[in-house]
Amino acid sequence: MKKTFRYFAVMMLVCGTLAVVSCKKEYNSVFPVTEDTRQFVNLTDAVPDAILEIRYFGTYNFVGDRVDGYLEPTALLTKKAADSLKAVSDDVKALGYRLKIYDAYRPQKAVDHFVRWAADIPDTMMNDYFYPDLDKSVLFEQEYIMEKSGHTRGSTVDLTLFDMATEKELDMGGTFDWFGVESHPDFCGNPDTGEYTGGKSPAGRSITEEQFAHRMILRKAMLRHGFKPLDSEWWHFTLKDEPFPDTYFTFSVRQLH
């Protein structure tokens, strides 16, 4: 039986210096790992209208650096997920929007990079932009960072809507990869009914009725075409009937030929 590990950060005195050490708590799980790209496509081959802003290829992300495994600023998905996303794109285009993609398939080496970064407690370079209300030491505990990601199975996508009339992203009331309750789909409303309820986060933040409605436009389109949401991120969706529910892929992100 193969084993994976949950990681947690601890402080240790090493040679007289306080240092962060990534420790491993072992638990059992079985999962295939493969470099096989045959069931993947370039997302823009399937959805040519999609706009790409691959955050982990650049430095504007919570790490503050290019993430391991992102060799080109492109997006990959399983063929099945890409076909479903094309149907979503057709729907939102009729409303005057296009899909803007932040991330899709994510190699395991990128997830490992996140784990190392989260264990390095003093590195808070991007704190003001992505997690100003949190102490970095709680990121593992609150599961903002985990050692496995659905993205690595190839049928998960992080995205938003681009308004063709204003030539700007639709205002969702928060940025991609914001660590906090403000990113939850049920923040200030009921995502099942689409009802706006208002309210504030513990940090005193809120979103408007219009911003909540914008989130619901994306959510309804994604759910209508077979994707399921995540209860902590309004931008994150996984194909319900994903073709590789137990497989983690390791190949780097680059254009497939």
Q: Which of 79, 225, 74, 243 is nearest to 150 (CA)?
A: 243
| Cβ pair 69, 144 in contact under 8 A | no
Instruction: Measure the CA–CA gap between 157 and 147, rounded to whole angstroms.
Output: 18
User: What DSSP state is assigned to residue 136?
Assistant: G
Residue in 53, 182, 233, 242 annotated catalytic: 233
In terms of Cβ atoms closer than 10 Å to its own Cβ (0-12, 13-18, 19+), residue 172 is buried
Residue 29's CB is within 10 A of a number of other CB atoms, namely: 11
The residues with which 78 forms a beta bridge, in sequence order, are 40
Instruction: Measure the CA–CA gap between 75 and 256, rounded to whole angstroms.
Output: 10
Instruction: Measure the CA–CA gap between 202 and 4, rounded to whole angstroms.
Output: 34
Nearby residues of 204 by Cβ (< 8 Å), 6 or more positions away: none
Q: Does 233 participate in catalysis according to the annotation? A: yes
As annotated, the active-site residues are 233
